[in-house]
Chain A
Amino acid sequence: MITDIKLSYYPGCTLKTKARNLEEAALGALTALGIEYQELERWNCCGAVFSLADDDLIHHLAPVRNLIRAAQQGSDTIVTLCSQCYNVLSRANQLVREDETKRKTLNDFMTEEPDYNGEVEVTHLLQLLRDRVGWETLRSKVKRPLDGLKVATFYGCTLIRPESVAINGPSPEIFEEFLRALGAEPVPFSAAQECCGSYQSVANPDAASDRAAKVLRSVQASGADALVLSCPLCEYNLGTRQGEILERIEDAVPIPSFYFTQLLAVALGLEPELCHLELNGEAALKLLKAREYIAAAPA
């Protein structure tokens, strides 16, 4: 049991609606791994995008307020699952720690909150698994190894950019190492760190589809059985919208896409219901059943 950390879990809005398959599988896995955590009692949107304008402090209030909530809850670490939330929270935390003037302005604006000086650590679940569980221990807890599953691990942008918050800083293959611990075989593909199309899918879907097609073409060429990712927006562009995007690719076949937490839960032998595979599209469930990673007949 890991009980020496005061760990807050920050869900993020999408995980409570469209990306329940990212959240519930993860929480089941945390419990199975004996990691104690407390979901933040009060939280707001992370801010969704880290504001880059130098004088635009108002958009840093959302992430910093969440970090204050974690501190108020007595936590020293906040863990997130969504790449986007991770990116915004960790960059805001960095800004508070490194820029004294902006920190003071933010604290002075939020007179109703206690001052925040960067006391809380922001971590992504992959980092938590690496640093607090360890790949060897994780491997030992796997009940249904994902033997023979070739996976394309999609980092996208926000897990690894900018470098100062990159989750693969000290271990460039963190995502691959995670999947190896589950028994899967990561296969390299050239677009692993490309943009999925991001928010362009709202205002300029054509441009987003071009980006997504580039990624899917690369996955297909790699010979991977499945795509694994950590971000609801990437999943929307590469999973939910995959049907229309594949029309742009010659001889395209559907590529099942999973959140990394779903494969974690499956490998740990947890109830498949936790994975909400119904939100992933048919190909995902079919693949897991065909390979007998989960029981063929639904419970």
Chain B
Amino acid sequence: MGVLAEAVETKMISVYIMGKKYEVPETLTIMKAMEYAGYQFIRGCGCRGGVCGACSTVYRKEGDYKIYSGLACQTVVEPGMHLTQLPFFPALRAIYEYDRIEATAEAIHQLYPELFRCVACNACTKICPMDVEVLDYVSALKRGDIAAAAEISFDCIQCGLCSSRCFGEIPQYHIAQLARRLWGGKIKPASPHLTAMVEDIDAGKYDDMLAKLLSMDAEQLKTAYTEREMEPAMADETWKPSNTDGLLE
């Protein structure tokens, strides 16, 4: 036992991993608890910061029939939890040429006719670890409302749990991604700021700044980082840094 372990007394709890009982520290996340028990994750573990969605997982609790879901890197273990890790759930993504498809309901329906197998059971919404109203965007897609589907599915992390539970075997998250691509690229007006920014980059506006950064040694980089000017937490949209060289005109 190291010094730290003696100083902090950690309570151990029992969890079941693929049916087998393990004692793990109660403070761990599902992912850490499984690693503590000896499992090693090569895929299905992603960013470990609650962003990427690679570690979406399902679990059950003692004495409760319900299926729960969450990100294994964010969900803290509870006594009696039944765990496993789903590295992946297969769902097919339709192949299309983005430049050639139109942003219409028909285009989506042609690529994903299985959309119409939805029976509105809502299992997709219930399992979503990001609380996306999956049924609502599936319904929007059936009636061709691409804007609504893009908006409702915005928090999707593409984990595929919706598809794993789907009565109609629909790859919801792939269809939502298509909707967001069509919405962002073909329906919403193009952003003039983005075009101007890309032109600035192409014209070499940032080349010198980047070269300067690249020439710094580790100490200089640390200093530049710690002394950087940060936007105040309560700043409004008119706030600008003191040096505006990097901003758009």
Q: Which residues of A are interface residues toward B (Cβ below 8 A)?
A: 11-14, 16-17, 42-45, 47, 58-59, 61-62, 65, 109-110, 112
B139 contacts A45, CB within 8 Å? Answer: yes
Which B-chain residue is minimally distant from A51 (CB atoms)? B119
* Candidates A12, A16, A17, A44; contact of B120 at CB < 8 Å: A44
Decide: A59 near B139, CB < 8 A? Known: A16-B145, A112-B125, A112-B126.
no
Interface set, chain B 120-136, CB cutoff 8 A to A: 120-122, 125-126, 133, 135-136
Do residues B105 and A17 form an inter-chain contact, with CB atoms below 8 A? yes
A112:B139 contact, CB within 8 angstroms: no
From B109, which residue of chain A is reached at the shortest CB distance? A17
B143 to A65, Cβ gap below 8 A? no
- Asked if B144 and A61 sit within 8 Å, CB to CB, the answer is no
- A14: chain B residues at CB < 8 Å are 143
Is the pair A13, B142 in contact by a Cβ cutoff of 8 Å? yes
Q: Given contacts A17-B105, A42-B136, A44-B135, are A61 and B122 in contact (CB under 8 A)?
A: yes
Q: Which residues of B from 75 to 112 have beta carbons under 8 Å from A? A: 105-106
User: B33-63 toward A: CB 8 Å interface, digit per residue (1/0)?
Assistant: 0000000000000000000000000000000
Residues of B within 8 A of A44 (CB): 118, 120, 135-136, 138-139, 142
Q: Assuming A16-B144, A17-B144, is B126 touching A62 (CB within 8 A)?
A: no
The interface residues of chain B lying within 8 Å CB-to-CB of A45 are 118, 120, 139, 142-143
For A14, give the chain B residue with the smallest CB separation.
B143
Q: A16-B144, A44-B135 in contact; A58/B121 too (CB < 8 A)? A: yes
**B122 near A43: Cβ-Cβ < 8 Å:** no
CB-based contact A62/B143 at 8 Å = no
B125, closest chain A residue (CB): A112
Q: A16-B144, A17-B143, A112-B125 are in contact. Are A62 and B136 (CB under 8 A)?
A: no
Inter-chain contact B139/A58, CB cutoff 8 Å: no
Tell me the complex Cα distance, A65–B120, Å.
8
The distance in angstroms between the C-alpha atoms of A299 and B106, with both chains bound, is 29
Chain B nearest CB: distance from A164 CB in Å?
23
Determine whether the beta carbon of B119 is less than 8 Å from that of A59.
yes
CB pair A62 B119 closer than 8 Å: yes
B145 touching A58, Cβ below 8 Å: no
Point out the residue from A11, A12, A61 that lies within 8 Å of B119, measured CB to CB. A61
Tell me the residues in window 1-25 of chain B with beta carbons closer than 8 Å to chain A beta carbons: none
Given contacts A16-B143, A17-B143, A58-B167, contact A47 B120 (CB under 8 A): yes
Bound CA span A196–B144, Å: 26
Nearest residue in A to B118 (C-beta to C-beta)? A45
B residues within 8 A CB of A43? 139
Instruction: Specify which of A11, A62, A109 lies most central, judged by the most chain B CB atoms within 10 Å of its CB.
Output: A62
> Would you call B145 and A112 a contact (CB within 8 A)?
no
Closest-CB distance, A19 to chain B (whole angstroms): 11
The answer for the CA separation of A42 and B135 in the assembled complex, in Å, is: 10
7 pairs of A and B residues whose beta carbons are closest in the complex = A62-B120, A44-B139, A13-B143, A16-B143, A44-B120, A17-B144, A17-B105
Cβ-defined contact, A65 with B144, below 8 A: no
Determine the distance from Cα of A17 to Cα of B105 in the docked complex, in whole angstroms. 8
Which residues of the other chain, A, contact B105 by a CB distance below 8 angstroms? 16-17
Given contacts A16-B105, A17-B105, A62-B120, 6 further A-B contacts (CB under 8 A): A14-B143, A45-B118, A45-B143, A47-B119, A62-B119, A65-B122
